[in-house]
């Protein structure tokens, strides 16, 4: 499924880089945070001076969101019933850090599962992730906090 509003957010959050770069985790990336090391392709080798087009970056963004969503729902199938704002906020986080790292947010996940979105937002705010991601964190936490107001995915 496509989420144009999430795609627009991620374009802002990740920024567009048409020449390869090392992300904050030291991984070679390209486009909108596309991990070249996790997705080897001889056309786009991991390393310096690899370039892509905007069209390729857009295509990777769509496929990377789908991959993040699949890994999120494989680990937490109950998330499919969450309010849309909360679902897309969590998908943004999983896109950013991966499901395995997000699994470490045990208290936030428990609060989300019990539909206590205010507590979940507080838990997310009280994290290194929140302090590192700036405006992205503020927006994502606000989405979680107002989760009850949203329609379901």
Residue 19's pLDDT is what? 97
Domain ranges of the chain: 4-148
Q: What is the CATH number of domain 4-148?
A: 1.10.530.40
Characterise 134 by phi-psi region: left (phi > 0), alpha (psi -120 to 50), beta (else).
Answer: left
Mind listing the pLDDT tens digit for each residue in 2-60? Answer: 999 999 999 999 999 999 999 988 999 999 999 999 999 999 999 999 999 999 999 99
């Amino acid at each position: 499924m496509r989420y144009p509003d999430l795609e627009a957010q991620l374009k802002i959050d990740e920024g567009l880089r048409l020449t390869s770069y090392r992300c904050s985790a030291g991984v070679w990336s390209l486009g909108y945070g596309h991990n070249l090391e996790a997705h080897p392709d001889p056309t786009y080798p991991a390393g310096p001076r690899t370039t892509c087009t905007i069209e390729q970056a857009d295509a990777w963004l769509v496929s990377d969101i789908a991959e993040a969503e699949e890994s999120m729902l494989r680990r937490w199938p109950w998330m499919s019933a969450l309010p849309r704002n909360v679902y897309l906020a969590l998908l943004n986080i999983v896109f950013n850090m991966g499901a395995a790292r997000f699994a470490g947010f045990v208290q936030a996940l428990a609060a989300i599962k019990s539909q206590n979105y205010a507590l979940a937002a507080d838990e997310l705010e009280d994290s290194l992730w929140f302090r590192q991601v700036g405006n992205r964190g503020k927006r994502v936490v606000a989405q979680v906090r107002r989760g009850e107001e949203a329609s379901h995915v």
